[in-house]
Amino acid sequence: MTQPLMDRKVLVTGAATGIGRAIALELASQGAQVAAADIQVPTQTVDAIRKAGGQAVGLAADVSQPDQVQDMVSSCVRELGGLDGLVNNAGIYSSLIPRPFEDIDLAEWQRLFSVNVFGLVSCCQAVVPHMKRNGGGRIVNIISGTPFKGIPFMLHYVASKGAVLGITRSLAKELGPDNILVNGVAPGFTLSEGVMGNEVQLQKLREVSKNARSLARDQVPGDVTGAVAFFLGSGSAFITGQTLLVDGGSHFN
């Protein structure tokens, strides 16, 4: 049986745990060669892929540091022999405590944007020259359902993901002539390892999120992976600038 992503070379950021880890494992299971990156080498993710018979390398980078991002992408291209896809998953969320916007100081806004927005932009800037030389590529941004709903008490996070939504659309227009497709996947409230360790988020968001869904169950990281794989595969070759909500039917766009 042919694997849908056979020999695709894909870089996944934030791949140590949660949604990023689930994405890396799924892409490898579909035949992709995966560069799994995180602020520290995601050894467990790489080992799990290799144990299952897949191909993976581990990379360390803080995406808020442009020099580290450039080194990460150069290492990816060298280790995998090229780069076909980028999944921008690295971001700050699970450690956040919901609270009124007037209690969120500008330093925290800057910290969040340095990773969720500027880090994503740095990753795109680093991979696009390689994709242009190769005649095209795919970029998939992990966004969030929150900008579509206007979730309160997480304003800095919602704003950061709203920025990524806009970047996804505009970058798709800019890079279309180079055959580089840019799409987004917007998960709902997902029970990743980090979220499961945040009692405040669980208490405030778990039940209300589940009850708002057409599919009234908890969302887990594996629920997100199919949409990401789709945007990296041949079935989405004429789709760009789109964001697919993966939230169990909580919001219709």
Domain-embedded: residue 2: no
Q: 122-142 in b/e burial notation, b at 16+ Cβ within 10 A?
A: bbbebbbebbeebeebbbbbb
Total domains in the chain come to: 1
Distance CA 251, CA 150 (A): 11
Percentage with pLDDT > 90 across the chain: 92
State the Cα torsion 35-39-45-46 to the nearest 10°. Answer: 40
Domain-embedded: residue 1: no
Distance CA 58, CA 99 (A): 36
Q: What angle do CA 75, 79, 81 make, to 5 degrees?
A: 110
pLDDT at 1: 62
Query: What is the per-residue pLDDT across 6-38, written as a single tens digit (0 to 9) for each?
Result: 999 999 999 999 999 999 999 999 999 999 999
Domain-embedded: residue 3: no
Domain-embedded: residue 156: yes
Domain-embedded: residue 229: yes
CB proximity list for 240: less than 8 A, separation 6 or greater: 172, 176, 181, 182, 183
Residues identified as active-site: 157
In the numeric block, which tokens belong to residue 11? 């870089």
Residue ranges of the chain with pLDDT lower than 50? none
Rounded to whole angstroms, the maximal C-alpha distance in the chain is: 55
Domain-embedded: residue 253: no
Distance CA 171, CA 220 (A): 29
- What residues make up the domain containing 185? 9-246
Domain of residue 27, CATH code = 3.40.50.720
Please, are residues 218 and 47 in contact by the beta-carbon 8 Å criterion? Answer: no
* DSSP secondary structure letter of residue 2: -
In the numeric block, which tokens belong to residue 248? 């169990």
